[in-house]
Chain A
Amino acid sequence: MRHLFVVIDCSRSMEDQDLKPNRLTSTLKLMEAFIDEYFDQNPISQVGIITTKNKRAEKLTDLTGNPKKHIAALKKAVDTVCLGEPSLYNSLSLAIQTLKHMPGHTSREILIILSSLTTCDPSNIYEIIKTLKSLKIRVSVIGLSAEVRVCTVLTRETGGLYHVILDESHFKELLMLHIKPPPASSSSECSLIRMGFPQHTVASLTDQDAKPSFSMSHLDSSSGPGLSLGGYFCPQCHAKYTELPVECKVCGLTLVSAPHLARSFHHLFPLQPFVESSVEELQGNRFCQACQGELKDKNIFTCPSCHSVFCVECDLFVHDSLHCCPCCIHSQNTPFGVS
């Protein structure tokens, strides 16, 4: 489980047009993709967004697990006026206020997208770096213009990454680096968490007793679908939700579905890389085990555990999306499916 605050610099320098159409628009667009991908890969994690401009820091969205909210906020933020200097200190302390209450077994992270080369701080930033370190908050920075010393120190001290972009595609690449969760340190606490696995139940229209009801998550927002028949019901208090994962508003139970958990699992047990070899060495059928197509390329990939052979496309697909070898799963029938 990750708790990530993304700090977006909205200072004057974001109006620079070296990223098209300008740095801010480009960043926000990439952030939308990032949010999507982030929740896809880390379904039970949470994100919050902070913007900093004019020596202040403001929370754009709170720490939640709902991608829609963030994306809506990002879309709105395109029109913000960029002015003044950013403040690293203020944004960090704003993030700390929330992150320090997060349970110890989850990761606490801050990702800063910094365009400006200067920061305007109300007091010594090295104090706050010490605090971050003691709270085990990991801070990473993506610089849009050049290497700034204070960021180097900040990331080195807190164990984060520091990168500077070359161009837009490199920016995207760097942003996607942060989708993978950071390696968990052995010192972090372990604890058991209660989770609920609600089934999606849809009352059939023929059922006379079925009554349309509100989803708990839509109660506070005026927009969105109102009444619906089916949904996920919290196993503890029977509150209804239309989307997972979510934290139950009534009893505070984390509601997930099994695939979600499985997907966040693969970071812990990554699929081993397949062994690359030339196609000539292969005896027998020259067919890819996954797509069943003929192996036309020079190189083939072999799974180290089941020795199945794959083509390049399938190798990429298996590693990037499936995160498990289809042949291994097929051969073992034990319910321990994801390895």
Chain B
Amino acid sequence: MKLNIEGLLVYFPYDYIYPEQYSYMLELKRTLDAKGHGVLEMPSGTGKTISLLSLIVAYQRAFPLEASKLIYCSRTVPEIEKVVEELRKLMEFYSKETGENNNFLALALSSRKNLCIHPEVSSLRFGKEVDGKCHSLTASYIRAQRHSNPNLAVCRFYEEFDAVGRQVPLPAGIYNLDDLKDFGRRKGWCPYYLARYSILHANIVVYSYHYLLDPKIADLVSKELAKKSVVVFDEAHNIDNVCIDSMSVNITRRMLDRCHNNVDTLQNTIHKIKETDAAKLKEEYRRLVEGLKEANVARETDIYLANPVLPDEILQEAVPGTIRTAEHFVGFLRRFLEYLKSRLRVQHVVQESAAQFLKDIFEKVCIDRKPLRFCSERLQSLLRTLEIADIADFSAVTLISNFATLVSTYSQGFTIIIEPFEDRTPTIANPVLHFSCMDPSIAIKPVFQRFQSVIITSGTLSPLDIYPRILDFRPVTIASFTMTLARTCLCPLIVGRGNDQVALSSKFETREDFAVIRNYGNLLLEMSAIVPDGIVAFFTSYVYMENIVASWYEQGILENIQRNKLIFIETQDAAETSMALEKYQEACENGRGAILLSVARGKVSEGIDFVHHFGRAVIMFGMPYVYTQSRILKARLEYLRDQFQIRENDFLTFDAMRHAAQCVGRVIRGKTDYGLMIFADKRYARADKRGKLPRWIQEHISDSSLNLTVDEAIQLSKHFLRQMAQPFRREDQLGLSLLTLKQLESEEMLQKITQIAHQT
């Protein structure tokens, strides 16, 4: 259907539209008009992706100069594929309606591992291996060497692409990863490099967060993307953690050992080169004296996306003399490594700021701040000069040099924690140096500065106002949308008491309490008898889950549950978990019924959807607070309090509630889906916790379902499940939660739609 959104003609590829989709597009349009950033929350399963795509594509067509490119960032490869499929549908609709073949180029980009078509390289199993192997075939100096030595291995796909691929742009169309591979095979071009090259002139790019947020990758891939782009972060509820992870470095002793090897190799290579080709090193030296002027010019003219690892100041300076020659630099690295090793030889936990660390390093091994800052750049230059083929081997030393640059550049927002052993195994020495980023805004800042509109969206972003604060940006729109429903297909219940009136809670004091564990078991047992097919139960941590399950086993609760359903458990082992998941789905499909015991913040809670019968109920046992004794977390909380005036408790609750919302949100994946959401902890009933749930869940918590006993919850669930099992047809939704164009344009409906968006 064709929609008119405040004067913009939007093609929407379906005959029906949800009211909230219309409202979402309205807000999105206003954000784009204002050329600002937006935070939008809309429940999953209400067609967020297609609303986003249809509006932005329409906007691009209407104002090709205002929004030249859409950069759509998603989290996983399956999600990326889903976005591309929606886009394909939209484009087919466009060409059907307008009758013309539009010149739209949209493509997905992923790692080499997913795109490589070289028969040997693509058969490797790990991403790092593929990258390394690819590099050893395609690096520029390798190819240069081949002129003198034609026996060297070659990737014919890359050669072909390099020879002709750049002149002929990728024909317009929609390309997912497989399409790119097919195209690459047909033409004999490398799909990965083709995609990387093509994103520069594509209208829509779909890729993973890391291509924009991780400074190492962003520098390679996304540097040259146009300023007038619209950036969308989908499923962005964890964006702050992604930012922090991309800037943090953990150094273990094993890594230092590998680093040592790296440095040795470097030295040997330098010696060899010196004998054969001294001119090369001299040339490099000259270049370094010139400094990083080029990068500086580029940044000033605003061609490139800024790299947070490459701070502004160092661009204006030349590389300091102490590390300019290759030997000196290697010596410098050695000293630095020795210093780190000595620091790891601690018996107790050390926490210090970056400034303290710099002072200490100056006193102990006389390393100044300035050369440290250039460390990362200098290493890159050296690796280029030495023509080292397999970059993957040098990941350790690259990491260390990145650490050196970061620690000397940012005096704030980072902390250094050295732990001699893990908390769980205090007897085994395993020293780790955490260089931990506490300020997510550092990594994302260049994105906000460079691109005119950045949209952060997800099913669970509540409370909305906290994201702009921790990411340090100023949005023009903040809105939360509810789900209009023809029938209440979600049933959130807060179970606060057992049948014997024992308060249920996972808080520390009652964690070991026998009565609480028994009541939790009772709850699961009763639920297993009344909920059909699949139940997903989330615990707060692996340790807690193990304790509880062991205790249930002793009490014979597990045995009783197994009469009703099979039990599967998520473990830290990824292969084991995916096996469990597969079997779980099989059991749901066959009518045997199954329970999946998993952990909030685990793999299951984030990436896996439990559509329809795969998840008829979710039970949250306790509140998923993050492990508060962790020193990294403590440091981060302190930083948040000092810098952003966010109280520790507020942040912890926010973090716990967003994970809880993520977990329970796994069951509702659309309006025809239905599911129970059981919060088994009395703390959820408190207004400050409940108020942090997304609005679309909060709405359905009535005052009477705040502090239920297990029995009461069972009665309510039974009733709910019977209601939901009644036939539900599309006609029932029409006019209420599903609209035709005509219904949408009625005055009354437009009135209603304005109430859907909830501004904060």
Contact = CB atoms under 8 A, between A and B. Distances in A.
B718 A125 contact: no
A119 B616 CA distance: 17
B591 interface: yes
B669 interface: no
Contact of B531 (A146, A150, A165): A146
A149 B612 contact: yes
Contacts of B441: none
A118 B592 contact: yes
B86 to A, nearest CB: 26
Contacts of B724: 146-147
Nearest to A166: B722
Contact of A147 (B532, B565, B589): B532
B52 interface: no
A53 to B, nearest CB: 13
Contacts of B721: 145-147
Given A150-B591, A165-B722, A117 B529 contact: yes
B684 to A, nearest CB: 25
Interface string B527-549: 00111110000000000000000
B563 A88 contact: no
Given A13-B529, A85-B563, A118 B593 contact: yes
Nearest to B589: A149
Given A117-B564, A146-B532, A164 B725 contact: yes
A118 B591 CA distance: 6
A125 B726 contact: no
B746 interface: no
B532 A148 contact: yes
Contacts of B589: 149-150
A148 B533 CA distance: 6
Contact of A151 (B530, B563, B565, B591): B591
Contact of A125 (B564, B590, B612, B725): B590
Contact of B530 (A12, A88, A119, A145): A145
Contact of B533 (A125, A149, A165): A149
Contacts of B727: 163
Nearest to B566: A118
Given A164-B726, A166-B726, A145 B718 contact: yes
A118 B564 CA distance: 7
Contact of B592 (A120, A147, A151, A163): A120
**Which has the most chain B C-beta neighbours within 10 Å: A13, A85, A117, A145?**
A117
Nearest to B719: A166
Interface string B494-535: 000000000000000000000000000000000001111100
B613 interface: yes
Contacts of B533: 117, 148-149
Given A118-B565, A146-B721, A125 B591 contact: yes
A299 B719 CA distance: 37
B170 interface: no
Contacts of B726: 163-164, 166
Given A85-B563, A149-B533, A121 B590 contact: yes
B723 interface: yes
Contacts of B565: 118
B588 interface: yes
A152 B591 CA distance: 10
B293 to A, nearest CB: 65
Contacts of B592: 118-121
A276 interface: no
Interface string B722-746: 1111110000000000000000000
B723 A166 contact: yes
Given A118-B564, A143-B725, A149 B718 contact: no
A285 interface: no
Nearest to A117: B532
B700 to A, nearest CB: 19
Given A118-B593, A151-B591, A146 B725 contact: yes
B351 to A, nearest CB: 52
A191 to B, nearest CB: 35
A18 interface: yes
Contacts of A152: 613
B111 to A, nearest CB: 36
Contacts of A164: 722, 725-726
Contacts of A163: 725-727
Contacts of B722: 145-146, 164-166
A147 B593 CA distance: 12
A117 B531 contact: yes
B532 A149 contact: yes
A236 to B, nearest CB: 48
A153 to B, nearest CB: 8
A297 to B, nearest CB: 31
A204 interface: no
A124 interface: yes
B753 to A, nearest CB: 32
Nearest to A152: B613
A26 to B, nearest CB: 15
Interface in B37-52: none
Contact of A88 (B588, B591, B613, B616): B591
Contact of A146 (B530, B588, B590): B530
Contacts of B530: 117, 145-146
B532 A145 contact: yes
**Which has the most chain B C-beta neighbours within 10 Å: A13, A143, A150?**
A150
Nearest to B721: A146
B81 to A, nearest CB: 26
Contacts of B591: 88, 118-119, 121, 125, 148-151
A51 B593 CA distance: 21
Nearest to A13: B529
B534 to A, nearest CB: 9
Nearest to A120: B592
A120 B593 CA distance: 10
Contacts of A120: 592
A166 to B, nearest CB: 5
B241 to A, nearest CB: 35
Contacts of B563: 12, 85
Interface in A58-76: none
Interface string A225-250: 00000000000000000000000000
Nearest to B674: A147
B613 to A, nearest CB: 4
A164 B726 CA distance: 6
Contacts of A12: 563
A120 B722 CA distance: 23
Nearest to B591: A150
A148 B616 CA distance: 10
Contacts of B725: 143, 146-147, 163-164
A319 to B, nearest CB: 24
Given A146-B531, A149-B533, A117 B593 contact: yes
B686 to A, nearest CB: 31
Nearest to A125: B590
Interface string A102-139: 00000000000000011111001110000000000000
Nearest to B613: A149
Contacts of B588: 149
Contacts of A126: 590
Interface in B385-418: none
B355 to A, nearest CB: 60
A166 B564 CA distance: 22
Nearest to B592: A118
Contacts of A165: 722
Given A118-B564, A148-B532, A149-B612, 7 more contacts: A118-B593, A119-B590, A146-B532, A146-B718, A149-B589, A149-B591, A150-B591
11 contacts: A88-B591, A117-B530, A118-B592, A120-B592, A146-B721, A146-B724, A147-B725, A148-B532, A149-B589, A149-B591, A151-B591
The 8 residue pairs across chains A and B that have the minimum distance between CB atoms? A150-B591, A164-B725, A149-B613, A147-B725, A146-B721, A146-B532, A118-B593, A148-B532
